[in-house]
Amino acid sequence: MKALMKFGVPVGIAAIGLAAMLLSAEAQKETNATAPPDRVGYTIVSKATIRSDDGNTIGAFTQTKYVSADDAWRNLKTFPNGSTQESFASKGQGVFLVDDDEQALILLGPYHRSPNPQSIRHSPKYLRTEHVQGYEAYVLREEGPGITAEVYYAPALNGDVIKQVLAKPGSTMTLEPESITLGEPASENLQHRSYSVVKTAQFNNGVRSSQHRAKNSNRRSGR
């Protein structure tokens, strides 16, 4: 899969967090379908855990994603050391990572609207239908060098990705929701840190280059 080749095999908790976000954006792009006519706003709180093949499990990060019916979202990840990683997207602008170290916005790529839910079920990558937090979800399988993923799309939530399971040799990361609350998020929850400098993320053989590398080192408290 093109997206998986771009970000490569995650090499750390921060990288895995970024990989999950990129997979979500690129997987939706690849369905190449029109957006559903009715869109909803909601807030989804998720937790990522990593399980190694020897049975050990660690918490990778937690995240809260605020999704607007107006085709915008803001996502805030919190890592075990207390640091955060903020990202956001809006139609016509793209998907961005906020880098407080460089005081810059890192452009990860274009932002595409959610796919038509019914087209997901008819994809050749479709595996099965499950229920996640009470929502029906279509599960698609994505593959790339050294990594596979199962991506869960919820038709009732704009066809958005609400769960992901990423597997690579030696470990599996599961990002799944703990709660989903319907309703347009408060405007302040959609407001993100912003810098005048915008840089484009670069990749070399599937790995992000050191230049413009955004770390999970945003300020540890507040916005």
pLDDT digits (tens, 9 = 90+) for 46-72: 999 999 999 899 999 999 999 999 889
pLDDT of the residue at 194: 85
Helix (H) or strand (E) holding 78: strand 72-78
Closest CA to 159 of 117, 125, 118: 117
C-alpha separations of 57 from 14, 20, 51, 174, 175 in Å: 16, 18, 4, 11, 13
Mean pLDDT of 26-39: 52
pLDDT of the residue at 115: 58
Three state DSSP letters for 182-217: ECCCCHHHHCCCCCCCEEECCEECCEECCCCCCCCC
Q: Contact 153/159 with Cβ under 8 angstroms?
A: yes
pLDDT band at 15 (very low <50, low <70, confident <90, very high): very low
On average, the pLDDT of the chain sits at 79
For Cα atoms 219, 221, 223, give the angle at the middle one, nearest 5 degrees.
75
Mean pLDDT of 169-194: 95
Could you identify the residue written with the tokens 């050749």? 124
pLDDT of the residue at 33: 44
Is the pLDDT assigned to residue 4 strictly greater than 60? no
pLDDT of the residue at 17: 47
Which tens digit of pLDDT belongs to each residue from 142-179? 988 888 999 999 999 988 999 999 999 999 999 999 99
109 or 41, which is more confident: 41
